[in-house]
Amino acid sequence: MRILGRYLAHEVYTATLLVFAALLMLFAFFDLIHELGDLGKGDYRLVKIFGYVLLSLPGHVYELFPVAALIGSLFALAQLTAHSELTVMRVSGLSTPRIALSLAKAGLLFVVLTFVFGEFIAPLSGRAAQQLRLKATSSVVAQEFRSGLWVKDAGNFVNVEEVLPDATMKGVKIYEFDPDFRLLAVSYAKRGEHVAENRWRLTDVAQTRFEPGRTVVRSVPLAYWHSVLTPDILNVLLVVPEQMSAWNLYFYVQHLRENKQKTTRYEIALWSKLAYPFASLVMIMLALPFAFYQGRSGGVSAKIFTGIMLGLAFHLLNRLFSHLGLLNDWPPMFSAIFPTLVFLAAAMAMMWRMERR
């Protein structure tokens, strides 16, 4: 059993590695073609474009793990079926559940690697890629509105015209309100730099304070501002929620809750981060019955095509339920894990039917 398990794992790993190499080269080529449109913008030269493409690869690795595991497993099992090796295993007393268990043990490596890439490598490389691109093209991080970025900070509302890649803020407006939402003061700073935890240094500050019966205006060259905002929160702008780490997503959700802001999108992304590593395991389980069902009806090319279609369906279903959950306020956990559960149920049903025949 152990020898057969190692043999199956070796075949699946080898095939998945080949599929990964092909998919990553394809996606890197697409990224390169897209980025060439900005060639020559600022200091964005060919070397930096290649750097951006390379730094974007870990994000693609994370996204492609389930698809690559599915296509690779289908390819490996199709080869074994074509050479009658799976048939010999079953005739020798190795049942389908035991084959599935061996594949599941092999798939645990994919679960661990998906989690590592999603939690540690992809967010950091994605942020580095965006910083490289923004610095080279002299762009700002984000502008959600024409007036810039708006953030709720406890009882204040903060408007930032630009956020630089190093989390320095330019054109900071702070609107202070009392508990009854009466405007107390408006402060404007040309620049804000983070100096310590929850502490910012504001330069060239002009403050207008509204007091009973009068308005007081004063200007100071330097002021310190205590805020719940941190560079980590501002760096959320560099990476979309789906590419953030679960750790950062959790704390950002807490920040939004404390400020009574909508958290649905980030909660869906958080639950997806926790469930997504297991999608590779589900895809491997799904590959097994397909390898048996199409043993006589199609060759390796047919199974690869099937794997691509199933992988595409899984990816689209994941995206669809994320958007539907956001639009309809479905429970974030349901929106995140339902597609994976659907494919797991399909794999279990197909294996059960295969055993019954």
Q: Are 258 and 245 in contact (CB under 8 A)?
A: no
Strand segments, DSSP code E, in the chain are 149-153, 156-163, 169-177, 183-196, 199-211, 214-226
Q: How far apart are CA 198 and CA 92, in angstroms?
A: 66
Phi, psi of 127 (to 5 degrees): -65, -40
Percent of the chain with pLDDT over 70: 91
Torsion of CA 276, 278, 279, 281, to 10 degrees: 160
Cross-strand pairs, 149: 160
Look at residue 99 and give its three-state secondary structure. Answer: helix
pTM above 0.85, yes or no: no
Model confidence pLDDT, tens digit, residues 248-306: 889 888 877 887 778 898 899 999 999 999 999 999 998 888 776 655 555 667 777 87
Q: Are 292 and 86 in contact (CB under 8 A)?
A: yes
Q: How far apart are CA 280 and CA 228, in angstroms?
A: 38
Cross-strand pairs, 208: 186, 217
Q: 330-338 — which CB contacts under 8 Å span 24+ positions? A: 332/264, 332/267, 332/268, 332/270, 332/271, 333/271, 335/268, 335/271, 336/268, 336/269, 336/270, 336/271, 336/272, 336/274, 336/275, 337/271, 337/272, 337/275
Strand segments, DSSP code E, in 76-168 are 149-153, 156-163
Model confidence pLDDT, tens digit, residues 296-314: 555 667 777 877 888 889 9
Q: How far apart are CA 63 and CA 48, in angstroms?
A: 23
Nearest one of 110, 105, 41, 44 to 71, comparing CA atoms: 110
**Chain CA centroid to CA 49, Å:** 22
Q: Tokens 């190499």, residue?
A: 21
DSSP summary character for residue 239: S
Domain locations in the chain as residue ranges:
2-138+265-356, 155-227
Model confidence pLDDT, tens digit, residues 130-179: 878 877 876 555 445 566 778 777 778 898 887 776 778 889 999 999 88
